């Protein structure tokens, strides 16, 4: 073992300590520290971006989870948020950065990080047994398309955009 200390005072006029390149442990730390830092940065970058396989698996799982799920919504409007939420809740990929565009009777799902696009088609059917039942309440007529009600969702997907 070297007689040199692992850390020495900086010779740049500051009072901070730096690795001592004359000590084998200090030299090893000089070499390993940037390599470990780069590995951590690459790992963080990989966790924050979508891969093609992650998007495919997340869309598949999200569509599967939408099957028979109850939503309080209306028939009118954009339901892309239901798809994006199902993909986020799948637990696959970073969970953010999913783009859903309504086109061609479906929703084209994509991300900035991937080239792939998936067409997700979602249908909503009125839930005949809503979760809240009032005792002695009369049966209400079916809601208008713009009214909020409980609907069950069913979804399918295919590769490519919906147009």
Among 45-54, 56-65, 121-130, 132-141, the range with the most confident prediction by mean pLDDT is: 56-65
Residue 145 pLDDT more than 90?
A: no
pLDDT at site 66? 92
Nearest 10 degrees: CA dihedral of 107, 88, 39, 33? 140
Contacts (Cβ under 8 Å, ≥6 apart) of 21: 27, 30
Predicted TM-score (pTM) above 0.85? no
Q: What is the pLDDT of residues 61-89, one digit of tens each?
A: 999 999 889 888 888 888 999 999 999 99
Residue 16 pLDDT more than 70?
A: yes
Q: How many CA atoms lie within 13 A of 67 on its CB side?
A: 8
Proportion of the chain above pLDDT 70, given as a percent: 89
- Per-residue pLDDT averaged across 148-163, rounded? 89
pLDDT at site 86? 92
pLDDT band at 155 (very low <50, low <70, confident <90, very high): very high
- Per-residue pLDDT averaged across 89-95, rounded? 86
- Per-residue pLDDT averaged across 51-59, rounded? 91
Q: Please, what sign has the CA dihedral across residues 145, 146, 148, 154?
A: positive
Q: What is the pLDDT of residues 95-133, one digit of tens each?
A: 788 999 998 889 999 998 889 999 999 999 888 776 655
Proportion of the chain above pLDDT 90, given as a percent: 29
Could you tell me which of 101, 139, 145, 137 has the C-alpha nearest to residue 120? Answer: 101
When mean pLDDT is compared across 12-16, 21-25, 32-36, 67-71, the lowest value belongs to 12-16
Residue 161 Rama label (left phi>0; alpha psi -120 to 50; beta): beta
């Amino acid at each position: 073992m070297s007689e040199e200390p692992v850390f020495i005072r900086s010779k740049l006029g500051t009072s901070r300590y730096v690795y001592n390149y004359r000590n084998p442990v200090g030299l090893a730390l000089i070499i390993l520290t940037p390599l470990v830092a780069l590995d951590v940065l690459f790992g963080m970058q990989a966790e924050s971006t979508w891969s093609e396989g992650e998007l495919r698996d997340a869309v598949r799982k999200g569509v599967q989870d939408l099957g028979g799920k109850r939503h309080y919504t209306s028939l009118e409007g954009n339901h892309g948020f239901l798809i994006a939420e199902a993909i986020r809740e799948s637990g696959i990929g970073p969970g953010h950065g999913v783009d859903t565009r309504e086109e061609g009777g479906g929703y084209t799902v994509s991300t900035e990080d991937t080239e792939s696009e998936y067409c997700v088609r979602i249908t909503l059917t009125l839930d005949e047994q809503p979760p809240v039942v009032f005792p002695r309440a009369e049966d209400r007529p079916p809601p208008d398309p713009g009214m909020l009600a409980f609907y069950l969702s069913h979804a399918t997907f295919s590769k490519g955009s919906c147009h």
